[in-house]
């Protein structure tokens, strides 16, 4: 029964935008992309899966870093073409820069200013 | 001085995803699209402007409904290709269905279920 997947208004390129929001505190963490398979796996496994447009493959968020996003809820917008995930962010770090949120640059007097602290050195996150 | 606009990693189609989050309560309200001009006008006017992919023109959010989004902050993600607006949502209604948020459908046991109440009848919102 994939009726719920058919309800999604998949665009021509097969990708919908997927927002992840921290269940703890409500910060918006990431904006990524999902194809049908990524959304299906996300619902099945309870962990966020996205489509990487650069690598052209599905990735499980945190598969390298350990910073998995555990799903609390999955929502769909009124146009059926954008997804909102409420997540428990493992490690409290969603960004590859080692910050809590990817949205750490804020516009201030005509400049983007990095606002949020680096919680963990990326070299520590991604070392093999 | 449009250096901050040049910092944005505009894709080939010229559109970046723009999330609006309610400054009051933190709900994610809308996912829409911005071209360079929409982002510039948003920053200049302090009101959210988007690019309508269906109508192929810029629209000021709330221009018909009155449900304007007043900008509290503008953030950019680590890839410089997604925008997060913190907004004051006029009327407390962001969705054309008369709900607070466009993300009112939640996946429950394999079905999308409308979770949030309609706060105002759309016929009352959009009557001329």
pLDDT tens figures, A63-120: 999 999 999 999 999 999 999 999 999 999 999 999 999 999 999 999 999 999 999 9
What pLDDT score does B127 carry?
A: 74
* Largest interatomic CA distance in chain A: 52
Quote the percentage of chain A above a pLDDT of 70: 98
8 Å CB contact of B105 and A28: no
Contact A9, A27 (CB under 8 A): no
Q: Tally helices (H) and strands (E) across chain B.
A: 3, 8
Within 10 angstroms of residue A48's Cβ, the number of other Cβ atoms is 28
Residue B108's Cα: distance from chain center in Å? 25
Interface size between A and B, measured as CB pairs under 8 A: 101
What pLDDT score does B128 carry?
A: 57
Is pLDDT at B53 greater than 60 in this prediction? yes
CA distance A64 to chain B (A): 18
pLDDT band at residue B2, thresholds of 50, 70 and 90?
A: confident
What pLDDT score does B17 carry?
A: 98
Mean pLDDT computed over B19-30:
97
Quote the percentage of chain B above a pLDDT of 70: 98
Which CA distances in Å does A4 have to A14, A45, A64, A76, B115?
Answer: 16, 16, 30, 10, 16
Q: How far apart are the C-alpha atoms of B3 and B113, rounded to whole Å?
A: 44
8 Å CB contact of B76 and A43: no
CA distance A118 to chain B (A): 12
Q: How far apart are the C-alpha atoms of B105 and A67, rounded to whole Å?
A: 27
Q: Which residues of A touch B (CB under 8 A)?
A: 1, 3-4, 7, 17, 19, 21, 26, 28, 30-31, 43, 73-80, 82, 84, 95-97, 99, 102-107, 110-112, 115
Closest CA to B84 of A63, A126, A29: A29
Is pLDDT at A37 greater than 60 in this prediction? yes
pLDDT band at residue B1, thresholds of 50, 70 and 90?
A: low
Q: How far apart are the C-alpha atoms of B37 and B59, rounded to whole Å?
A: 11
CA distance B101 to chain A (A): 8
Is pLDDT at A127 greater than 80 in this prediction? no
Q: Which residues in chain A are closer than 8 Å to B95, comparing Cβ atoms?
A: 78
Nearest CA in chain A to B53: A11
Range B37-62 burial, b when 16+ CB lie within 10 A, else e: ebbebbeeeebbbbbeeeeeebebbb
8 Å CB contact of A78 and B84: no
Contact B51, B100 (CB under 8 A): no
Write the residue in A21, A79, A105 that is nearest to B76 by C-beta. A105
Residue showing tokens 């809308």: B30
Is pLDDT at A18 greater than 70 in this prediction? yes
């Amino acid at each position: 029964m994939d009726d719920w997947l058919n309800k999604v208004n998949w665009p021509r390129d097969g990708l919908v935008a997927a927002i992840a929001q921290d269940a703890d505190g409500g910060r918006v963490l990431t904006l990524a992309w999902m194809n049908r398979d990524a959304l299906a796996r996300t619902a099945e496994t309870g962990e966020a899966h996205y489509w990487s447009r650069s690598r052209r493959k599905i990735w499980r968020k945190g598969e390298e870093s350990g910073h998995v996003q555990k799903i609390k809820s999955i929502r769909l917008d009124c146009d059926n073409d954008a997804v909102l995930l409420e997540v428990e962010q493992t490690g409290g770090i969603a960004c590859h820069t080692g910050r809590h949120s990817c949205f750490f640059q804020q516009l201030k007097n005509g400049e983007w200013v990095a606002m949020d602290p680096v919680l963990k050195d990326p070299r520590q996150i991604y070392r093999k």
